[in-house]
Amino acid sequence: MSNPCALCGAIGAVSPVAVAPQDVSVDLCATCATGVIEGPSDGPHWQCLHEAIWSATPAVQVLAWRVLKALPEAPWARDLLDIAYLEPEVLAWAEAGVMEVEEAVVHRDSNGAVLAAGDTVVLIKDLPVKGAGFTAKRGTAVRNISLVMHNAEHIEGRVESQRIVILTKFVKKS
């Protein structure tokens, strides 16, 4: 009989996944391992994090926290992060692994200025918004942007009450 997945509890084939930067590994199923390594997509599978974040095992807490951080557009994930408590040393461990990923991708506007989450940008071109049926006009301020973690050319923000993805080459930092 094999061990269950440390995040979702699935019984079956599990494989060890390293929890950097410490020399610790956790047994994960293929779905959880892919989400941890390549980044998760919001879906019903990740509801398992409601229990995993409260695990008695620090390495499991670290992985659950990192996956929740990688789901910024999922309201349930943000809510769970808000109420989750990690001991200071466990939180530092979790953040250390995330910093390595975030530092690798630098978002720059059309003028080369570095963008950060929460910045305000201005559109420099009229942009038709696919699927929403409107055009975001040049000069529109987009406040409190989010950075797309694995793509330096994409940011997200609200325009006309719609959350949209915007190419960084069409914005300038204000």
Residues 20 and 100 in one domain: yes
Domain CATH number, residue 154: 2.30.30.40
Residues 33 and 71 in one domain: yes
- More confident call, 25 vs 71: 25
Residues 85 and 145 in one domain: no
Give the model's pLDDT for residue 159.
92
pTM: 0.58
Give the model's pLDDT for residue 155.
93
DSSP letters spanning 72-114: TT-HHHHHHHHH----HHHHHHHHHHHHHHHHH---B-TTSPB
Mean local confidence (pLDDT), 105-121? 91
The verdict on residue 72 lying in a domain is: yes
- Confidence grade of residue 37 (pLDDT, cut at 50, 70, 90): confident
- More confident call, 165 vs 97: 165
Residues 72 and 147 in one domain: no
Residues 97 and 20 in one domain: yes
Provide the domain limits for residue 31. 15-104
The verdict on residue 87 lying in a domain is: yes
Instruction: Out of 78, 104, 130, pick the residue that ends a domain.
Output: 104
The verdict on residue 40 lying in a domain is: yes
Mean local confidence (pLDDT), 53-63? 94
Give the model's pLDDT for residue 87.
93
The verdict on residue 115 lying in a domain is: no
Residues 99 and 155 in one domain: no
Residues 130 and 93 in one domain: no
Give the model's pLDDT for residue 102.
46
10 Å CB burial of residue 86 (0-12, 13-18, 19+) is middle
- Confidence grade of residue 1 (pLDDT, cut at 50, 70, 90): low
Question: Is the predicted pLDDT of residue 43 greater than 90, yes or no?
Answer: no
Smallest CA-to-CA distance from 7 within 37, 27, 34, 23 is with: 27
Give the model's pLDDT for residue 147.
86
Q: What is the number of structural domains in the chain? A: 2
Instruction: Out of 104, 131, 146, pick the residue that ends a domain.
Output: 104
Helix axes 58-69, 30-38, angle to 10 degrees: 60
Question: Which two structure tokens, joined as six digits, stand for 21?
Answer: 């930067």
The verdict on residue 92 lying in a domain is: yes
Smallest CA-to-CA distance from 21 within 101, 94, 85 is with: 94
pLDDT digits (tens, 9 = 90+) for 67-112: 998 887 788 988 898 899 999 999 999 888 665 444 557 899 999 9
Instruction: Out of 59, 74, 104, pick the residue that ends a domain.
Output: 104
- Asked if 171 contacts 142 with a C-beta cutoff of 8 angstroms, the reply is yes
